[in-house]
Chains A and B, each alone.
Chain A
Amino acid sequence: MNIKSLHIKVSLSVAAGALLVVLLSSQFFYQRDYEKSFAESERSVLQLLETVQTTASIAAYVGNRELAQQVVTGLTKNDIVIGATITASKEVIGQDGKTARETQQKLISIPLVAPFDEKEIVGELSVIPNAPLIALRARDSAMSTAVGLAAQSTLVALLVLILVYWLMTRPLSTLSGSLHRITPGDGSRLDVHSIHSGDEIGLLAGDINSLLHTVEDMLEEERQLRHRVESLETRFRGIFEDSSAGIFLVRERGNLVTANPAFFRLTGMNEQQFQTGDEDIVSKVFLDIEHAKSLIKLALVTKRPHSADLRIGSDTEEHSRWVHCIFSPAGDNATIEGVMYDVTQRKLSEARIRELAETDSLTGLSNRQAADSALQALITQTPIGGKSFAVMLIDLDRFKYINDTYGHDAGDKVLVTIAERLRKLVRDSDVVARMGGDEFFIILNHAGNIGMVTRIAQKILDAQQAPIEVQPGVLEKIGISIGIALYPDHGDNPLSLRKHADQAMYAVKRRGKNNFAIYEPGNEDPLMESA
């Protein structure tokens, strides 16, 4: 049994209280009863004396020893008297039992008056009370009173204890026990006996039950809400997980918060490897790191989504992919939600279309538009005073003759062959274009000085010494005329550069063809000529 249980506490309190009451009241009543009993005994002795007073008075009055002796003998027959004496005129006329001198005890005395004159005192009647007996009786009486009282108190305490146990502590502990066993939400209620209806225990149980009811309602509401939230979450998670678009959350610095499987599929990254962490995933995923980061910053600053087509994956053309990526600020000021979907196919188609648009279909070289935009782009990128480059305008010398003599197929073959030769003679980064008809255009990106340009031009001329089989068994040697202009010395815009290259080329044509010339400012005729 629990030492702190209410029942034990109440029991101990009642027992302690009862014990205290018993002790105090027993003490008090013992004392009182003892005194009372003692006084009663003394009064009894006095009454005894009064009974024999008349006779004793007569004996004393007449000095009759026989009568006096009869009186004292009669007195000592009482067990509360152990000695009696009658004196008359200082003389003992009757004595029985112990004397005062023997017992050293207090005497109880009454004066004896004359029978016929109450004013005259004729003697004295003294008795020695049986003090031990009186005390014993008083003790007995007091003790029985005290014991009775103690028994009564104990009985009352016991009764109170039992009643308190039955009416309060037991129902309370039952209540407490059943409340302890109840888990809110299991629907069980406290059951209280009908005798407690209306009292505090009944009220308590009722209040607890209504509290349980309220709690259960709230729990049920909570459960339903949680269920709704869970199903919503499942749905959203489904959208998130099953989406073909890669969805991801990153911090401002590029570290990943979360991402869906599509993100890892698209980026080819290992999901395990990129759990949330400090690693800058943006730098790993995107090839155009700066572009991606600037979009993120923009989205954060403007608090609006920003999107772009970005390349992801490895640096090599065949493994990289294009994604359209939308960066949107996500809630707080430091998180960005990214959505990316694969646009590689579209990008490839676009590239294909652009390629088609920029390519000469016969030779596979760039066409005029591509050459124009490439030149424009190069000029834009190259500031005045920066590096210089050269452009060449090339015209075939006897193309009309070939066309007219051997037909268009032969002409086409000549054009294709020349194109192949030109492409082979310059770097990959140089632009080689067919401007239309038999006119070609070359942008030499890195040809910074005249010496270098001259060497390349000579190489191109030399390459044309090899004859071309225009028809089976028919070989023709095709000469070319090359006009050269240098940027920025001979022009700082496409038009002027082309025009000056054209002038240089016509100068070659005029002088006998199959040669090259570099434009010379202020002189319509070319400065240099080569045989």
Chain B
Amino acid sequence: MHKLALFLIALMFSGQLRADILVIVNAHNPVVTLEKKQVVDLFMGRVSAFPGGGAAQTLDLKTGTPLRADFYKRLTGKSEAQVDAYWATLVFAGRMSPPKQFADDREVIGEVTKNKMAIAYVARQSLPGGVKIVMELTQTAK
């Protein structure tokens, strides 16, 4: 009984932590929606342009931020460490660099508002008019 209660509480917290993640771009970006694969290819450095042909610049959160791990987990199925190792491999080979990192959602949103090439991820929240949502990573989309 006691254990069951504890489990339900944990489930509640987790629901709160694992809120929907939104992939956002500059409001002027011609892209309306992106497929998950397209998002993966952009964030993992395979492509550096939006489907319409516009150059893309991925924005990332600082390593260790809970949302970052959650985002990569939901997007690629890999842990944060695995994604970092992936980037380390590519960086060691040269010519490739991981996405630029920001401290929190606010900074990210600010940058996206300013940068028309930017693409980033934030937790679900009310967003300013300068950005638009191109994809949602819902809780179920693991």
Partner of A62, one of B75, B77, B90, B94: B90
Which stretch of B2-10, B38-46, B55-63, B109-117 is in the interface? B38-46
User: Which residues of A67-121 have CB atoms within 8 Å of chain B's CB atoms?
Assistant: 67, 70, 115-117
Q: A66-B95, A116-B40 in contact; A55/B46 too (CB < 8 A)?
A: no
Interface code B42-56, partner A: CB below 8 Å = 1, 0 otherwise? 001110000000000
User: Which residues of B69-116 have CB atoms within 8 Å of chain A's CB atoms?
Assistant: 75-78, 86, 89-90, 93-96
Query: Total interface residues on A, using CB and 8 Å?
Result: 13
Interface code A36-62, partner B: CB below 8 Å = 1, 0 otherwise? 000000000000000000010011011
Q: Which residue of B lies closest to A71 (CB)?
A: B93
A64: Cβ under 8 A from any B Cβ: yes
Q: Which residue of A lies closest to B76 (CB)?
A: A116
A137 to chain B, nearest CB (A): 33
Q: Which residue of A lies closest to B45 (CB)?
A: A62
In the assembly, what is the distance between CA of A314 and CA of B94, in Å? 159
Q: A62-B45, A64-B95, A64-B96 in contact; A116/B78 too (CB < 8 A)?
A: yes
Partner of A64, one of B40, B75, B76, B90: B90
Residues of B with C-beta under 8 A to A67: 89-90, 93
Residues of A with C-beta under 8 A to B93: 59, 64, 66-67, 70
A129: Cβ under 8 A from any B Cβ: no
Q: A115-B44, A116-B76, A116-B77 in contact; A58/B86 too (CB < 8 A)?
A: yes
Residues of A with C-beta under 8 A to B75: 116
B40 near A55: Cβ-Cβ < 8 Å = no
Q: Which residue of B lies closest to A115 (CB)?
A: B86
A267 to chain B, nearest CB (A): 145
In the assembly, what is the distance between CA of A116 and CA of B82, in Å? 11
B37 near A62: Cβ-Cβ < 8 Å = no
A254: Cβ under 8 A from any B Cβ: no
A63: Cβ under 8 A from any B Cβ: yes
B46 near A61: Cβ-Cβ < 8 Å = yes
A502 to chain B, nearest CB (A): 190
In the assembly, what is the distance between CA of A55 and CA of B76, in Å? 17
A62 near B40: Cβ-Cβ < 8 Å = no
A117 near B37: Cβ-Cβ < 8 Å = yes
Residues of B with C-beta under 8 A to A117: 37, 40
User: Which residues of A130-153 have CB atoms within 8 Å of chain B's CB atoms?
Assistant: none
**Secondary structure of the A contact surface, majority rule:** helix
B86 to chain A, nearest CB (A): 6
B122 to chain A, nearest CB (A): 21
Residues of B with C-beta under 8 A to A115: 44, 76, 78, 86
Residues of A with C-beta under 8 A to B40: 116-117
In the assembly, what is the distance between CA of A116 and CA of B77, in Å? 7
In the assembly, what is the distance between CA of A58 and CA of B46, in Å? 9
A55 near B94: Cβ-Cβ < 8 Å = no
Partner of B96, one of A55, A62, A116: A62
Residues of A with C-beta under 8 A to B44: 61-62, 115-116
Q: Which residue of A lies closest to B95 (CB)?
A: A66
Q: Which residue of A lies closest to B36 (CB)?
A: A117
- Most interface-central of B77, B90, B93 (chain A CB within 10 A): B93
A188 to chain B, nearest CB (A): 96
A243 to chain B, nearest CB (A): 140
B78 to chain A, nearest CB (A): 7
A138 to chain B, nearest CB (A): 35
In the assembly, what is the distance between CA of A116 and CA of B93, in Å? 19
B26 to chain A, nearest CB (A): 25
A95 to chain B, nearest CB (A): 16
A73 to chain B, nearest CB (A): 12
Residues of B with C-beta under 8 A to A116: 40, 44, 75-78
Q: Which residue of A lies closest to B78 (CB)?
A: A116
Partner of A58, one of B37, B90, B94: B90
In the assembly, what is the distance between CA of A205 and CA of B43, in Å? 98
B28 to chain A, nearest CB (A): 28
Residues of A with C-beta under 8 A to B95: 64, 66
In the assembly, what is the distance between CA of A20 and CA of B89, in Å? 59
A55 near B77: Cβ-Cβ < 8 Å = no
In the assembly, what is the distance between CA of A115 and CA of B78, in Å? 9
In the assembly, what is the distance between CA of A115 and CA of B93, in Å? 17
In the assembly, what is the distance between CA of A61 and CA of B76, in Å? 14
A55 to chain B, nearest CB (A): 6
- Most interface-central of A58, A62, A63, A116 (chain B CB within 10 A): A116
Residues of A with C-beta under 8 A to B77: 116
B57 to chain A, nearest CB (A): 16
In the assembly, what is the distance between CA of A450 and CA of B90, in Å? 191
Partner of A66, one of B46, B86, B94: B94
In the assembly, what is the distance between CA of A61 and CA of B89, in Å? 13
Residues of A with C-beta under 8 A to B46: 61-63
Residues of B with C-beta under 8 A to A64: 90, 93, 95-96
Q: Which residue of B lies closest to A54 (CB)?
A: B89
B37 to chain A, nearest CB (A): 7
B87 to chain A, nearest CB (A): 10
A32 to chain B, nearest CB (A): 42
In the assembly, what is the distance between CA of A64 and CA of B40, in Å? 17
User: Which residues of A388-432 have CB atoms within 8 Å of chain B's CB atoms?
Assistant: none
In the assembly, what is the distance between CA of A66 and CA of B92, in Å? 9
B58 to chain A, nearest CB (A): 13
In the assembly, what is the distance between CA of A287 and CA of B86, in Å? 154
Given A62-B46, A66-B95, A115-B86, 10 additional A-B pairs, CB 8 A: A58-B86, A58-B90, A62-B44, A62-B90, A64-B90, A64-B96, A66-B94, A116-B44, A116-B76, A116-B77
A-B contact pairs, 11 of them (CB 8 A): A62-B46, A66-B94, A70-B93, A115-B44, A115-B76, A115-B78, A115-B86, A116-B40, A116-B76, A116-B77, A116-B78
Q: Which residues on A are within 8 Å of B, measured CB to CB?
A: 55, 58-59, 61-64, 66-67, 70, 115-117
The 4 A-B pairs at the shortest CB distance, nearest first, are namely A67-B93, A116-B76, A66-B93, A66-B94
